[in-house]
Copies of this chain bind each other. A is one copy, B any other.
Amino acid sequence: MNKDLSDRLRRHGLHVTAQRLAVLRAVSEHPHITADAVLDLAQAELGAISRQAIYDALNTLADKNLIRRIQPMGSPTRYEARVGDNHHHLICRICGRVEDVDCAVGAAPCLMPSDAMGYEIDEAEVIYWGRCPACQAQADMHNQT
């Protein structure tokens, strides 16, 4: 199982270290995880790892497109290992839950603006904002609707 992760690192020209494996595993197993939660998981796995190592690894992995950053409003940066399929996100305004939503088109950029203003566009990121079922139910209880 580590073999798979190690290979992914090596294939992208990165040294294989226990720290990076722990970070990559944490992100792979927990979609939309925050840096802080990665730190907790990695510390549990390795006994000790510095906060800086977490950020270094996350940034390196993101640069090499092994993982992807998402930065919803009002929440710290999150990371996911699902890359290359240009899917989108559905986020609850109340509790911040994030869901994956498949892109109808598949390849990036799946959408183009009416006027690109000379920009060279490589990605159209779509975030659907709303209320998740749980938060809807809770709001309804308060309203006694």
Which A residues lie at the B interface, using CB under 8 A?
69, 71, 73, 77, 88, 90, 92-93, 99, 101-102, 104, 109, 111-133, 136
Contacts and interface: CB of A to CB of B under 8 A. Distances in A.
A88 B111 CA distance: 12
B102 A118 contact: no
Given A109-B128, A124-B128, A118 B133 contact: yes
Given A124-B128, A129-B125, A90 B119 contact: yes
Copy number in this complex?
Answer: 2
B126 A111 contact: yes
Contact of A119 (B73, B99, B102): B99
Contacts of A77: 73
A84 to B, nearest CB: 15
Nearest to A77: B73
Contacts of A136: 120
A75 to B, nearest CB: 10
